[in-house]
A and B are shown apart, each in its own frame.
Chain A
């Protein structure tokens, strides 16, 4: 296939968005038209369209309402809001009301965990929603009020920065200060500085950024690409949202620095659609740097360098945060992680060497160039220098963003955030691990407890099983579906957990859950599946007594709810006699 064909195809998501935005859904005719325009099979377009849950194939309403169904939303009133929405609109969940006005849908975490329950209406944010507010909103919309006016301003809730001059991200910022250094150093010197700072990727895999950039730079290609991963989908994480809202310029500088380091001419921000309201901020920042002479024209960097940045919006799929799925999504495909026969730094976007970096990583890189590797290295721990942004939410008085120096203990963090009667914290989201609050002295750093950004606090009133069921449901929905263990395995684990919930499980079931969970870790193709039973196995390890209690052991008969199994028959008989 020719490159032009390739690059046309990369427009697929945008073409689908245009239809979705115009009519609230994507019709059969749209699918055929797009297929004809791109000269591909209609079924390919349909395959892409149905992969992303913000694309609808049926009319989804003038106002499409997405209520977050993550565990934190669930604990802060999801079901009451859902009920209120159904009552206020007269619609049913998962569909549109009879007037075609309001569509009511679930969505995975929308990055507003510190202000739950939260929802999006046509991608305008609404936070700390109450049932009363729902009724007001719906009648206001019926009366013709504008969403832009009704929508909430999303608070940053920046709660903590290291004392003294030790903050890296949230310190004073002057546009161009970091870039100034590019006028004096070569791309290789940038990489060397980043290496000296020992910067680790903040997207969750903690791969040394300098190594990634070096390999990418060294790999030959017609073109190199820098992709900023702003898909922030791990439930409970919202640090990238705050960075982009507060310091979008810092991100642009980070991208300029990364692009210079790897020899890229183009940078792409892959922004999750849940953060559409950040688009104006980011676009303004890009415009600023165009004006400053750093984007879209030869820059004043020491070596010849021209760079530009565009933004690609996702369309609702957690797995697209995985870098190879993200690249496929950028190329207008279904976001399926690759089988890893090669890596993005070898063959990435359009087959060219590509570096995918998290928002926070790029911002940190900009600060390292600004402040110098030494300053960065003097903070944190030897294995993880610098600071880290934690998104803290759940059962605590001060949910929000904590810029901590790596090395803070769990106890300190719980103290700062005003954790109330904590039972455990879930570190790094559903893909992460569960740490009992009793493990106060655990140290958040690469030597002990790494954290990708999400910290969810659960108090002693919370039901561990409810949390685990929510996580499993999340993976079941968000799995890309391409490999057996993750696609079918999470479904199967969900059934098992249901047995546990209904009090029908036996001790052997616990052992099976553990074994099957491990199997997902061994056999899944990408990090999503590999980590999907992580939290569950971990929770069973940390709280064995809790799980034992849930088990009803009884001889060689299995737990079975006969009345439930006979319910359908009895109902059918009753209706006819």
Chain B
């Protein structure tokens, strides 16, 4: 038996066997330190993701690289560290290309689950939109590099029966990536491949012909603590004064109108809302121009052309509060899938090849009345200040209205986990 040591986390007395990994030791004492790369069997720990930052005796460390020691004083739930941990999660979202609605792992993904838990509505960091590829060459697995957070678990843990590693990191710095040894991978049997898929904390390792065991909506992070509140950033806006009826404007830029559908998804409650809210410029009313000042502007979709930008700027100028509704408005969303392909290639694919047998050769539509395409799709906050972000693809209706009622009338609210989604 190992010696039991006493230590504190945020002043709370804790006990653990000496030398126990702090992430595990904290959990045994009822404190859940976020973690992603940490995997109990890997020793020394990987310490790559840095979402488990704590302070031990006033110095910052990754908790998973700390061993329980007599008398140590751990700081965990303090603003600076809460923010640092959240920032790491946001950084992974900005670095990779995470299209949760299109991801096989959605609902079972640890990165996503951590985003929910920490109330990440947007990455504070600009999306890098790095062109990463999907590796279909391995025999049993597929590696979706867009979703890899380079946690290193697969590198350490996935070995063939005769002891050869299947994965390795390649390159260095910002170009670091994980790669598969095709010959070694071919030695894995299906069970081992599935194990690798489950070992990966994100949806980066998939197995051909295999899906997640449970259907969407019933997966780990769909169900876990579904009723628990998520701490989201509050709009912090005082209820707007003046007009008896509040005025809302909405628009869909580079979006699919799905978020607007969700907006209408509160069913009968819509009738009550109409009593106290006027909808001005909006596809819902077909009012095309701003005729009066609005309290809240709701933006669906990001910017893919110059017209989107113009509309967005008009919203910023005419609305007191701007809400980015849904993933596309927040950072580009599904339309941003084109951001990895040079625009010229996109246009050639769409128009060039399709029309090249016509007499006039290929023609890319252009006219003074047509909007011009931007080099990539931009999230709304790359162009104007946005006051509030509601994640989801589409966002949950009750999440939307809780937020709106808060902004418009100061109604207090809390978002529960089942209303907080990226897919």
Whether B48 and A317, one on each chain, are in contact in the complex, defined by CB atoms closer than 8 angstroms, is no
User: Contacting B372 at CB < 8 Å: which of A476, A477, A557, A566?
Assistant: A566
Q: Knowing A50-B172, A523-B50, say if A484 contacts B44 (CB, 8 Å).
A: no
Which residues of chain B are within 8 angstroms of A560 by Cβ–Cβ distance?
309, 382-383
Contact of B84 among A50, A339, A488, A522 (CB under 8 A): A522
B171 within 8 A of A: yes
Known: A41-B164, A479-B174. A339 touches B46 (CB 8 A): yes
Which residues 333-377 in B have Cβ within 8 Å of A in the complex?
342-344, 347, 352, 361-364, 366, 372-376
**Within 8 Å of chain B (Cβ to Cβ): is A40?**
yes
Beta-carbon contacts of A178-194 to B below 8 Å, as 1s and 0s? 00000000000000000
Q: Please, which residues of chain A bring their CB within 8 A of the CB of B176? A: 480-482, 487
Q: Are B88 and A523 in contact (CB under 8 A)?
A: yes
For residue B124, CB closer than 8 A to chain A, the reply is: yes
In Å, the complex CA distance between A53 and B53 comes to: 31
Contact A576 B172 (CB under 8 A): no
In the complex where A41-B168, A43-B184, A522-B60 touch, is A558 in contact with B174 (Cβ < 8 A)? no
For B149, the chain A residues whose CB sits under 8 A away are 484
B233 to A: closest C-beta gap in Å: 15
Tell me which residues from 472 to 490 in chain A have a Cβ below 8 Å from any Cβ of chain B.
476-485, 487-490
Q: What's the interface size class on B, roughly?
A: 35 or more
Q: Give the distance to chain A from B132, nearest Cβ to Cβ, in Å.
A: 13
State A68–B120 Cα separation when bound (angstroms): 41
Given A516-B125, A560-B383; A482-B169 close (CB under 8 Å)? yes
A512–B94 Cα gap in the complex (Å)? Answer: 15
Complex CA gap A481/B173 in Å reads 4
Question: Could you tell me the distance in whole angstroms from the C-beta of B194 to the nearest C-beta in chain A?
Answer: 21
Contact with A along B55-85 (1 / 0, CB 8 A): 0000010100101000000000000100010
Partner of B172, one of A338, A479, A522: A479
Whole-angstrom distance from the CB of B188 to the nearest CB of chain A? 13
Q: Are A488 and B92 in contact (CB under 8 A)?
A: yes
B127 to chain A, nearest CB (A): 10
Residue B49 CB within 8 A of the other chain: yes
Which residues of A lie under 8 Å from residue B165 when comparing CB positions?
Answer: 40-41, 43-44
Chain B residues with Cβ below 8 Å from A165 are: none
CB distance from B64 to the nearest CB of A (A): 8
A294 to chain B, nearest CB (A): 37
Any B CB within 8 A of the CB of A572: yes
Q: Which residues of A contact B49 (CB under 8 A)?
A: 483-484
Within the complex, what minimum Cβ distance (angstroms) separates A74 from chain B? 19
Across the interface, do B47 and A525 meet the contact criterion of CB distance under 8 Å?
yes
A307 to chain B: closest CB distance in Å? 30
A556–B385 touching, CB < 8 Å: yes
The reply to whether B95 and A488 form a contact with Cβ atoms under 8 Å apart is yes
Say which residue of A50, A565, A576 sits within 8 Å of B352 (CB atoms): A576
- Decide if the interface of chain A is mainly helix, strand, loop or mixed: helix
Q: Are B67 and A478 in contact (CB under 8 A)?
A: no
Residue on A with the closest CB to B365?
Answer: A573
B126 close to A495 (CB less than 8 A): yes
Q: Is the C-beta of A164 less than 8 angstroms from some C-beta in chain B?
A: no
How many residues of chain A are within 8 Å of chain B by beta carbon? 62
Residues B384 and A557 in contact, CB atoms below 8 Å apart:
yes
Judged by a CB distance under 8 angstroms, whether B316 is at the interface is: yes
CA distance A420 to B42 in the complex (A): 55
Confirm or deny: B91 has a beta carbon within 8 angstroms of a beta carbon on chain A: yes
Q: Out of B172, B306, B373, which one reaches A481, CB within 8 Å? A: B172
**Docked complex Cα distance between A484 and B381 (Å):** 23
Q: Is the CB of B126 within 8 A of A492?
A: yes
Q: Tell me which residues across on chain A come within 8 A of B313, comparing CB atoms.
A: 557
- A28 and B343 alpha carbons, distance in the complex (Å): 34
Q: Any chain A CB within 8 A of the CB of B23?
A: no
A516 to B88, CA, bound (A): 11
Digitize B166-196: 1 where CB-to-A-CB distance is under 8 Å, 0 elsewhere.
1111111111100111011000000000000
Interface-central residue, B172, B342, B344, by most chain A CB under 10 Å: B172
Which residues 546-577 of A sit at the B interface, judged by CB distance below 8 A? Answer: 556-558, 560, 562, 564-573, 576-577
User: Which positions 292-347 of chain B face chain A at CB distance < 8 Å?
Assistant: 306, 309, 313, 316, 342-344, 347
Cβ of B181: which chain A residues have Cβ within 8 Å of it? 41-44
Query: Would B164 and A484 count as touching, CB distance under 8 A?
Result: no
**Are A571 and B128 closer than 8 Å at their CB atoms?**
no
Instruction: Contacts A44-B165, A481-B175 given; indicate if A341 touches B44 (C-beta within 8 A).
Output: yes
A47: chain B residues within 8 A (beta carbon) = 168-170, 179
Give the complex CA separation of A342 and B43 in angstroms: 12
Closest to B36 in A: A484
Which interface residue of B150, B169, B372 has the most chain A CB atoms within 10 A?
B169
Min C-beta distance of B328 to chain A, whole Å: 17
Q: Is B410 an interface residue (CB 8 A)?
A: no
List the 10 closest pairs (A to B, CB-CB), nearest first.
A481-B176, A339-B47, A43-B181, A47-B168, A488-B95, A568-B343, A43-B168, A556-B385, A569-B373, A339-B65
Query: Can you list 20 A-B contacts with CB-CB less than 8 angstroms, sorted by A residue number?
Result: A40-B165, A41-B166, A43-B168, A44-B168, A44-B181, A46-B168, A46-B170, A47-B168, A341-B65, A481-B173, A484-B92, A485-B91, A487-B173, A522-B53, A557-B383, A562-B309, A565-B378, A569-B373, A572-B344, A576-B362
Q: Which residues of A contact B (CB under 8 A)?
A: 40-44, 46-47, 50-53, 317, 319, 334, 336, 338-342, 476-485, 487-492, 495-496, 512, 516, 519, 522-525, 556-558, 560, 562, 564-573, 576-577
Known: A41-B168, A43-B166, A43-B179. 20 other contacts (CB 8 A): A40-B164, A47-B179, A334-B172, A339-B44, A479-B172, A481-B173, A483-B48, A488-B94, A488-B128, A491-B95, A523-B62, A523-B87, A556-B385, A558-B382, A558-B384, A562-B306, A562-B309, A566-B372, A568-B373, A572-B347
